[in-house]
Amino acid sequence: MDKDFTSANLFNTGSNKDGASNSISNNNVNSNSNINSNGNNNSDNNCTMYWANLHTHCSLCDGKGEPVDYVHEAIKSRVKILGFSCHASLPFYTGWTMTGEKQKEYLEVVSNLKKHYEKTGSDGIRIKLGLEIDYIPGISGSNMRECKGKMQIDYSIGSVHFIGGYSPGRLVPVDSQEEDLLRGIKTYFGNNTRKAVEEYYMVLQEMIGIGGFDILGHLDLIKKNNKGSLLFSEGEKWYRDIVDNTLSLISRSGLILEVNTGGMARKYFDTTYPSPWILEKCLKLNIPIVLSSDAHQPSHVAAFFPETAKMLKYIGFKELFTLGEKGWEPCRFTPGGICL
């Protein structure tokens, strides 16, 4: 057992108000410098280890870098399966989703890139065409099976980024600036944070119930503006109960849950979505997981993967799911990579 990840510092019990921030501390993450992020020094029964990342945002939505820049960085970082998942267009303007026109261009650009690398076999990289699609009640994400076929994408990530009034102009972004969320909580939830957090999970539960997505994105995104338990404590019973109910639905849905390192890469906080204590529950419920970085710039294509893989091993996970040539498959992994 590695002393960097003791139960004391990895799994907070939620018994104190700041418990949630006890997860993977910066010290833990930085102390893992012995792990070669290229994975070169790691092998598992003669299997060469690579990474897979199906959650990236290039310059065609709100990320930096052209798709091809991601490919080059992925090859350098030993990411063998690279998925593009720009934010799908919505029937209203946002600064971060694609317009309908841009989405057409995106589907074409990534399809061409995919074909190019299939043909050349260059560096063994495999490109996957995906989309991160918002679930907004009555507005978006309720007919995914039909959508997926029409757009001929390889996979979809279902995410909830909005709560509030569920009509354009009345939506509250949960992962935007803190002041936007606080204003929304005041306007639509009578300043009652618990109501807003419960609403977030209710929308997520609705999305899980409707189905059609492959991956559930950043399960506890609502914590993004909760640094230092500013808004709520992850240790409170009502919070744990609603997370439990959501996990129970996921375990019966066939959805794959992502372990997302984006908050760490972008320095919002020092733990994954979802928090390690939630991942511990996922393991008990046999919920399949994928590792992704939600990269918004090429250099984040495998950000914090070795450290997070180490944490997942510590929790007890034996397999990470990836999208292979024959569909979704479980693969063994080590802190050096995935056996692909």
Q: How far is the CB of 54 from Zn ion (least distance, A)?
A: 10
CA dihedral 172, 174, 179, 185 (to 10 degrees): 60
Does the footprint of Zn ion cover residue 94 (CB under 5 A)? Answer: no
Site for Zn ion in 293-312 (CB under 5 A): 294
**Applying CB under 5 A, does 198 fall inside the site for Zn ion?**
no
- CA-only gyration radius of the chain, Å: 19
- Interaction of residue 260 with Zn ion, rule CB under 5 A: no
Q: Which is nearer to Zn ion, 88 or 231 (CB)?
A: 88
State the nearest-atom distance from the C-beta of 231 to Zn ion, in Å: 19
What 3-state DSSP class applies to 226? coil
Nearer to Zn ion, 4 or 175 (CB): 175
Whether 10 and 23 have beta carbons less than 8 Å apart is answered as yes
Closest approach of Cβ 60 to Zn ion, in Å?
13
Of 151, 141, 131, nearest to 56 (Cα)?
A: 131
Round to whole Å and give the CA distance between 308 and 310: 5
| 49 vs 295, beta carbon nearer Zn ion | 295
> Using CB under 5 A, which residues numbered 115 to 144 contact Zn ion?
132
Helix axes 276-284, 237-251, angle to 10 degrees: 40
- Chain-centroid distance of CA 113 in Å reads 23
CB of residue 335 to Zn ion, shortest distance in Å: 24
Q: Which residues pair with 258 in a beta bridge?
A: 290
Residue 275 Cβ vs Zn ion, minimum distance, rounded to whole Å: 17
Tell me the number of residues near Zn ion by CB under 5 A: 3
> Which range binds Zn ion by CB under 5 A, 105-113, 116-124, 152-160, 306-314?
152-160
Nearest to 130 by CA among 98, 100, 88: 88
Nearer to Zn ion, 57 or 80 (CB): 57
- Structure-block tokens of residue 284: 């008990």
Task: Label each residue of 263-313 as H, E or C.
Answer: HHHCCCCCCCECCHHHHHHHHHCCCCEEEECCECCHHHCCCCHHHHHHHHH
Q: How far is the CB of 160 from Zn ion (least distance, A)?
A: 9
Whether 189 and 195 have beta carbons less than 8 Å apart is answered as yes
Residue 110 or 339: the one with the smaller Cβ distance to Zn ion is 110
Between 10 and 174, whose beta carbon lies closer to Zn ion?
A: 174
Under the binding rule (CB under 5 A), the answer on residue 214 touching Zn ion is no
Reduce the DSSP state of residue 306 to 3 states and report it: helix
8-state DSSP, 140: B
Residue 159 near Zn ion by CB under 5 A: yes
Q: Which stretch binds Zn ion (CB under 5 A): 19-27, 120-128, 264-272, 290-298?
A: 290-298
Tokens of 123: 């560096």
Give 49 or 144: the residue with its C-beta nearer to Zn ion: 144
CB of 53 to Zn ion, least distance (A): 11
Contact footprint for Zn ion (CB under 5 A): 132, 159, 294
